[in-house]
Chains A and B, each alone.
Chain A
Amino acid sequence: MEDRIGVSKVVGGSHMQGGGASYVPITGLLERVRQDLPLGEMVHTDTFSLFEAMSAVELGNVKMDAAMSGSCKSVEELIQEGAAPVEGLTPAQTLLIMERLLVMEASWHNGAALAQTVFASLYMLRPDRLRDNSPLLHAYCEGVKATCIAVRWLVMHGAVAEEEDINCWVQGLPIPDMPVPLPDARCLPLLDQATQSAKGLALLGLGLKSEGGVVGAVAHLTSAQARLQQVMGASPGLQQQQRSIADSQNGKDASGAASTQKEGQGCEAKQQQRQQQRQESAFDAPGFVENVNKYLLGPAPPRAAVVMSTEAAYAYLKSMLGHLQQATDVMHVRGYRALVQHIERFARLRAGVVARSAAHYLIAGKAWGPAMASATALRQATEAEGAAASGTPNNSSQPTPDNSKHRDQAASGDKDGSSSANPAQDVPPPPWVLDRPIMSEACALPEAPGAAGPEADLFLDQIVIASSNWAQSMLLNSCRQRRRLRRGLDDWANIYQHALNADMSEEFVAFTKRAQWAWTPPKDEVEAMNEFYPGPLSTWVECQTAASEALHLLLGFELDLYQPSEYAMVYWYCSVLLGVQRITSQVMHSYRCPAGGASKASMALPAKPGKKGNKGRAATPPSPLPDASTARRQAGLIMDAVRTELLSSMCLGLVRLQLALKVAGIVPDPILTFNSQRERFDQRFAAFHTPPLVRPEPMGYGE
């Protein structure tokens, strides 16, 4: 087109009005444009790529336009039609709504959009309607909203949920970004009242206390909901009544009701049918409308909201509570080795995104900065207000004579992080946070800057970053964890160079002599590069690198990435990496580095006096005893060496087993059309060759 054509000029200026929008037909414009384009060509820019193509949405195409599915009625229209009655709700209906909200919340945690689950409830979208007619349901809805806010805040700040959909389609919903004061003072007494009124049933009391902060609050409210379910479960009458209501709504026989977790292979059609049935039953409770929020979804393809079964939801919430509890176990951790064990143990739980976010939030350094101070001040202000309203003494740990002042400080702290008047901000980070103190302990370096030289300081700064990245990687979902461990090898390769520089620096060598490390520094750079003179810091880095590589490979089994014909070479490489870990642990043990950089000479015992009558031979000073932390470090290194030796032997045994199966013809080699075993080996272990890794030395196909 040579000139810009006004749309109204081309199409004759006719406009249509509808729904508050103005529509202009552009058929005439497109007809004119079409004349200038040859067959198959598109109007596009030079930057038109696959991303742009895949991002395009055909408006009105049901497969691509989420707004095309479901009802067009607004929330107000649905309420006016009686879709969410507030008067005359029976106790059974109230319980059904509450249970369904719990299931929706669990489904949201597991990847379904908030707009299609929890806020598919008209009661959640308009909770104030319940205030006068159904205070219990009103309190429950406020509680659910508060936990959703808190969970979202926790997940956003946990920084391990990028691939999960927990933040998908949240815009437009009535949930702010920052957690509001949790209404547990109002909600829990009402929930307690509800459980007390259940016939002859005692409270089970799970004993979780409100620790303050979002982690404890999430656990507290969810435990209250789980407690209610236990009460319902212990009351056969209530359960039966609820089931019959649900079954009558679904039109099913009671014996065939509820969804099942048994999904066998090769029954895809049955799975889809069951999922469809579950989907339909999930929205059959009063006030639930599946696509009520579709106007918020924007021009995007529709996503199926997978709603969990009631049993699966409760099982998930129960396990989540346990995982949150285990996440808080980090508060007992002292030392880098213990922290690594805690993270590895937690990662093996394969917890959901909420628990993993909590775990990482507690470990990450930023959690203990201004944001935490603000949350602390906000909590104190809330508790003081609640205490003042109820006339009970304030339970907060610090006196809060002026609540408005604390709230204002908290608000200003949120904005610029510079609330200097708040004493909580001056609190140093806890000992389990990945920061300079814990990393200096890991490498037996002094914490004070400059004590071992500038190269060592730079090395310490780098390993704080690398270890923080590693910790975050470990708390991602397993798919992403494996990929991030591989990308983290770039960090370790870079840090290895820093470690070499530090090992070779005069200040560090002088420090090791002062601290009487059992390490002979190399004479020159050539000797330093010789594998028989590994420096302490570079050895530590090599050990960490090998551990990351081994974990990356082992995760492939869990993710079902390997074919049986590949097991032998994967186990073989694992045995090599575990062997590297064993050797490096033994080398570090042999250096006998005092923990914290303390000098062994300062701990030497005085010489023994000679016996009576003897002139007293010149006493040989006994070997200085290590302090407790050094002894612990040495013991840990020995344990690591033994453990990795054991694992390496197991891997070698599995290699032999695989080879035997191949010889027996049970696991034959694949018939390769386009490449050979060499290319398969190179592709499988390409990650270890792509960054310039020096140590551990990448293994080639020839080995």
Chain B
Amino acid sequence: MGAPSDDRQQVNQASISYRQYSGEQDLPIVMHLVDNELSEPYSIFTYRYFLHYWPKLCFLAFSGDKPVGVVICKLDRHREQAMRGYVAMLVVDKLCRGKGVGSELVRKSIQAMIEGKCEEVALEAEVTNQGALKLYQGLGFIRDKRLHRYYLNGVDAYRLKLLLPLSEGQESAPTA
């Protein structure tokens, strides 16, 4: 799984490495990170749903050998209209927060989505999660709507969206 965390260990941006999800052997790492940090419970089915269909949209961050972050996404056609990417989970170990790890993970995932002809990216975040909101707004996401008592703990959520510019191919494609 990774070396036990050392509270006194200094983590800097230069020591962080990133790579794509490579297969089943990464699943325990992903589950461990998400289960420890996020309040919403996810079953094995949820992990497999994302990682089985969109493994290339999952990125992991490591500090040396220790996994410190993960982002899990999907990309499909939304309501038979736009190709929409969705950031399902983003987790960064507490020791590595505030160092741009989360931003870099999201950046990589969005870049991969753009290569998959994504037209917009969406996600939900708790209204009280100032860190996440600042991260996504720094990447250009806007707060599209507010969802009442979205989470099991009763907290509202913001639906954040990022509209991507159309590529030349998408602009010239005939509309339905």
Contacts and interface: CB of A to CB of B under 8 A. Distances in A.
Is B a genuine binding partner of A?
yes
Interface of A: 39-42, 48-50, 52-54, 56-58, 61, 63-64, 111, 163-165, 268, 301-304, 306, 477-480, 482-483, 559-563, 566, 670-676, 678-680, 682-684, 686
A671 B127 CA distance: 22
Given A562-B143, A674-B162, A675-B140, 18 more contacts: A40-B52, A41-B52, A48-B49, A50-B49, A54-B46, A58-B44, A63-B41, A64-B43, A165-B149, A301-B152, A560-B146, A561-B142, A673-B140, A674-B140, A680-B142, A682-B163, A683-B163, A684-B142
B148 to A, nearest CB: 4
B144 interface: yes
Contacts of A111: 149, 154
27 contacts: A42-B52, A52-B45, A53-B49, A163-B148, A302-B152, A304-B154, A306-B154, A477-B148, A479-B147, A479-B156, A561-B143, A561-B144, A561-B146, A563-B137, A563-B142, A670-B140, A674-B114, A674-B164, A675-B140, A675-B163, A675-B165, A676-B165, A678-B165, A679-B164, A683-B142, A683-B163, A686-B163
A675 B41 contact: no
A559 to B, nearest CB: 4
Most buried by A among B49, B114, B127: B49
B23 interface: yes
B117 interface: no
B12 interface: no
Contact of A304 (B44, B107, B152, B161): B152
B140 A40 contact: no
Nearest to B42: A54
Contacts of B163: 675, 679-680, 682-683, 686
Q: How large is the interface on B (under 10, 10 to 19, 20 to 34, 35 or more residues)?
A: 35 or more
B144 A53 contact: no
A52 B50 CA distance: 12
B110 A674 contact: yes
Nearest to A162: B148
Contact of B139 (A39, A40, A50, A674): A674
Contacts of B148: 163-164, 477, 479-480
A680 B140 contact: yes
Contact of B41 (A49, A61, A560, A678): A61
B59 interface: no
Interface in B87-110: 107, 110
B77 interface: no
B152 A683 contact: no
Contact of B137 (A39, A42, A477, A670): A670
Nearest to B147: A479
Contacts of A566: 142
A53 B145 contact: no
Interface in B113-168: 114, 120, 127-128, 137-140, 142-149, 152-154, 156, 158, 161-165
Contacts of B32: none
Most buried by A among B23, B138, B149: B149
A675 B162 CA distance: 8
Interface in B16-52: 23-24, 27, 41-46, 48-49, 51-52
Contacts of A480: 148
B151 to A, nearest CB: 10
A672 B158 CA distance: 20
A56 B46 contact: yes
Contacts of B51: 40
A482 B49 contact: no
Most buried by A among B23, B142, B161: B142
B41 A301 contact: yes
A42 B44 CA distance: 10
A64 B165 contact: no
Nearest to A266: B130
B88 to A, nearest CB: 8
Contacts of A39: 23-24
A372 B135 CA distance: 53
Nearest to A486: B145
A40 B22 CA distance: 12
B140 A479 contact: no
A622 B162 CA distance: 63
A512 to B, nearest CB: 40
B140 A53 contact: no
A562 B146 CA distance: 11
A676 B46 CA distance: 34
Contacts of A52: 45
Contacts of B147: 479
Contact of B45 (A42, A672, A678, A680): A42
Contacts of A53: 43, 45-46, 48-49
Contacts of A56: 43, 45-46
Contacts of B128: 268
Nearest to A52: B45
Contacts of B27: 40
Most buried by B among A57, A478, A559, A672: A559
B149 A683 contact: no
Nearest to A672: B140
Nearest to B39: A63
Return the 4 tightest CB-CB contacts between A and B, nearest first: A63-B41, A683-B163, A53-B49, A479-B148
